[in-house]
């Protein structure tokens, strides 16, 4: 009997800790099985894998991705369902007989297909992941019909050998954050843009289009929203990430023009990717199989400049104060919310801030409803300007903003006696302008006159409650322990219902 229980215990442990049986496929064919969460389609070299993976890990939010496979640091290079996360029950299949590669998520609306290759009845016979990282759908003779390099709408990454076409005005689009592949407000785009009054196209890096952040100009790039004098590139239909050099090129005669280059030559062990990162940096990343632990950035076209990431629009999200600590360092951004605002996501302060008390409509210019938060030595250098006043006093800058419903905030310059009035949303609050402007600039941000009691006092209350809980909990625990001891001494032989000692088998 004892032995039997021990066996059951071992079995239980095995079932709990043995990995779930997963598939590692090389081809996904019409008749073959589904790709469930945990299954992968791998490239022949094993460098890439296609699967349904969670981002962030353990989040329960799953995405169909092509990513580098371990031991390479597992970075996603292509995500099919960027907007719609899937559940753990989701699966990928090459539907039979029509040959559409499609995702299904039984936990959500089954009728709604989160993503599909739209290749129904195009003759697809097989899906394969190539060594280049390209996911291809081919017919039974191996002729390509669809591939993730050319036919998928938006990505944030180019791989060696990948062309980036102007057709359909496709953009590289960054992830919203390092953990969230979503696109939309708050992301960067890299691609072709146009300007009113100008013919031809411009290769540009923009933030939540159409806000242009930097413009490529033959061999170098121009930081800042240089709308006045952009480089108009001749009408090329593509740029490409060279398979050998690993440079981003722009085709030209007599020689192709390098847009971004960096790092070593691409080889079977030196891997490169070009990614438009969530912070707006368009970077060439490199990883050497067998040597590297993580990907390292070899070159970039970054929107950071003047030694401050806070200059980059959107680093801290809307209505957020950006600060570098220590000043001048490139990787220590601190985002905080000004008085009257709270974080959109307390776990990720770079997502920005939102008013604690929201005002709308005519309340935005009702003198008995609005007030201004005053931020000394702070500028808001980018965007949102709709009006400026010259010969202004600080007081009348504030008064004008308060009574204008459109005004979300204003910047005042003492030296220029100028007031720039800005619309919502406000970005780049706190770009450290002291070095540029001394204490010339003051920012005003419109808030509700009514402000609820500050969260600090709530925190104080919370702490008191915690202390009370711990004390009471501790006393209860102690009481229980004493009661148990007394009981144990009285019963000194304890048995279970079947007469078996209630001990784990390793002690029996």
Cα–Cα distance for residue pair 429/311, rounded to 1 Å? 9
Cα–Cα distance for residue pair 256/239, rounded to 1 Å? 10
> Prior bond to 425 cis, omega within 30?
yes
| Contact call for residues 75 and 273 (beta carbons, < 8 A) | yes
Which residues in 235-294 contact ligand NAG (CB under 6 A)?
none
Binding residue for ligand NAG (CB under 6 A) from 23, 113, 130, 374? 374
φ/ψ bin of 133: left (φ > 0), alpha (ψ from -120 to 50), beta (otherwise): left
454 binds ligand NAG (CB under 6 A): no
| Shortest CB 3 distance to ligand NAG, Å | 44
204 binds ligand NAG (CB under 6 A): yes
Q: Tokens 């971004």: give the residue.
A: 260
Bridge-based pairing of strands 418-422 and 385-390 is antiparallel
Q: Tokens 């629009």: give the residue.
A: 313
| Shortest CB 356 distance to ligand NAG, Å | 13
Residue of minimal CB distance from ligand NAG?
206
Binding residue for ligand NAG (CB under 6 A) from 23, 113, 130, 145? 145
Looking at the DSSP bridge assignments, the partners of residue 207 are: 188, 211
DSSP 349: G
Dig out the tokens for 1 from the structure.
């009997």
φ/ψ bin of 491: left (φ > 0), alpha (ψ from -120 to 50), beta (otherwise): alpha
185 binds ligand NAG (CB under 6 A): yes
| Shortest CB 318 distance to ligand NAG, Å | 8
336 binds ligand NAG (CB under 6 A): no
Pick the piece of the chain touching ligand NAG (CB under 6 A) from 55-63, 87-95, 181-189, 347-355: 181-189
Pick the piece of the chain touching ligand NAG (CB under 6 A) from 1-9, 146-154, 258-266, 491-499: 146-154
Dig out the tokens for 434 from the structure.
């002291």
Cα–Cα distance for residue pair 270/292, rounded to 1 Å? 10
Binding residue for ligand NAG (CB under 6 A) from 228, 229, 294, 368? 368
Binding residue for ligand NAG (CB under 6 A) from 26, 45, 396, 439? 26
If we measure between CA atoms, which residue out of 423, 433, 421 comes closest to residue 376? 433
| Shortest CB 7 distance to ligand NAG, Å | 38
If we measure between CA atoms, which residue out of 218, 258, 222 comes closest to residue 240? 258
146 binds ligand NAG (CB under 6 A): yes
Pick the piece of the chain touching ligand NAG (CB under 6 A) from 260-268, 366-374, 435-443, 478-486: 366-374
Output the CA angle 29-136-298, nearest 5 degrees.
140
Nearer to ligand NAG, 6 or 84 (CB): 84
Helices (H), strands (E): how many in the chain? 4, 34
Annotate each residue in 395-434 with x if it binds ligand NAG (CB under 6 A) or - if it does not, as one string.
------------------------------x---------
Q: What is the DSSP string of 133-172?
A: S-EEEE-TT--EEEETTTSSS-BSEE-TT-EEE-GGG-EE
356 binds ligand NAG (CB under 6 A): no
By CB under 6 A, how many residues form the interface with ligand NAG?
A: 33
Binding residue for ligand NAG (CB under 6 A) from 366, 394, 417, 448? 366
| Shortest CB 309 distance to ligand NAG, Å | 21
388 binds ligand NAG (CB under 6 A): yes
| Contact call for residues 62 and 38 (beta carbons, < 8 A) | no
Which residues in 220-239 contact ligand NAG (CB under 6 A)?
none
191 binds ligand NAG (CB under 6 A): yes
φ/ψ bin of 328: left (φ > 0), alpha (ψ from -120 to 50), beta (otherwise): left
Binding residue for ligand NAG (CB under 6 A) from 5, 166, 217, 369? 369
Sheet hosting strand 211-217, strand order edge to edge: 171-173, 188-193, 202-207, 211-217, 220-223
79 binds ligand NAG (CB under 6 A): no
Binding residue for ligand NAG (CB under 6 A) from 104, 119, 162, 350? 119
Q: Footprint of ligand NAG on this chain (CB under 6 A)?
A: 26-27, 119, 122, 128, 145-146, 150-151, 169, 171, 184-185, 189, 191, 193, 196-197, 204, 206, 209-210, 362, 366, 368-369, 371-374, 388, 425, 449
């Amino acid at each position: 009997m004892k032995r039997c229980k021990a066996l059951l215990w071992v079995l239980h442990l095995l079932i709990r800790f043995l990995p779930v049986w997963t598939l590692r496929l090389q081809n996904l064919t019409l008749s073959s099985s589904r790709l469930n969460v945990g299954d992968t389609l791998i490239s022949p070299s094993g460098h890439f894998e296609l699967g349904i993976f969670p981002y962030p890990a353990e989040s329960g939010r799953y995405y169909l991705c092509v990513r580098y496979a371990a031991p390479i640091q597992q970075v996603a290079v292509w995500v099919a369902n960027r907007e719609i996360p899937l559940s753990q029950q989701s699966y990928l299949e090459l539907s039979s007989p029509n040959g559409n590669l499609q995702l299904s998520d039984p936990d959500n609306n089954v009728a709604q297909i989160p993503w599909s290759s739209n290749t129904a009845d195009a003759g697809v016979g097989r899906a394969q992941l190539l060594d280049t990282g390209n996911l291809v759908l081919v017919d039974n003779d191996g002729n390509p019909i669809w591939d993730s390099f050319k036919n998928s709408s938006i990505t944030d990454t180019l791989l060696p050998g990948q062309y980036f076409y102007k057709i359909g005005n496709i953009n590289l689009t960054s992830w919203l954050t390092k953990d969230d592949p979503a696109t939309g407000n708050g992301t960067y785009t890299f691609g072709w843009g146009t300007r009113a009054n100008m013919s031809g196209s411009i290769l540009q890096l923009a933030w939540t289009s159409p806000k242009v952040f930097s413009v490529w100009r033959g061999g170098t790039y121009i930081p800042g929203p240089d709308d006045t004098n952009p480089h108009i590139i001749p009408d090329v239909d593509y740029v490409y990430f060279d398979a050998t050099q690993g440079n981003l090129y722009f085709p030209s005669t007599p020689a192709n023009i390098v847009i971004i280059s960096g790092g070593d030559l691409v080889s079977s062990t030196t891997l490169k990717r070009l990614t438009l990162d969530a912070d707006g940096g368009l970077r060439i990343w490199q990883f050497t199989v067998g040597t590297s632990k993580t990907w390292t950035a070899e070159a970039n076209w970054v929107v950071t400049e003047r030694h401050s990431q806070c200059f980059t629009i959107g680093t801290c999200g809307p209505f957020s104060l950006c600060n570098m600590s220590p000043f001048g360092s490139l990787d220590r951004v601190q985002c905080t919310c000004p008085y009257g605002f709270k974080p959109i996501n307390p776990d990720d302060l770079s997502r920005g801030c939102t008013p604690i008390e929201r005002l709308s409509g005519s309340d935005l210019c009702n003198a008995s409803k609005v007030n201004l938060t005053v931020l000394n030595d702070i500028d808001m250098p980018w965007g949102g300007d709709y009006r400026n006043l010259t010969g202004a006093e600080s007081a009348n800058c504030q008064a004008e903003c308060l009574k204008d419903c459109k005004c979300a905030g204003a910047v005042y310059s003492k030296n220029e006696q100028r007031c720039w009035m800005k619309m919502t949303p406000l970005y780049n609050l706190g770009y450290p302008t002291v070095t540029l402007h001394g204490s010339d600039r003051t920012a005003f941000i419109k808030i509700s006159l009514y402000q609820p009691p500050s969260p600090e006092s709530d925190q104080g209350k919370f702490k008191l409650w915690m202390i009370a809980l711990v004390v009471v909990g501790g006393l209860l625990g102690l009481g229980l322990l004493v009661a148990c001891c007394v009981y144990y001494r009285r019963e000194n032989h304890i048995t279970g219902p079947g007469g078996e000692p209630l001990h784990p088998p390793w002690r029996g």
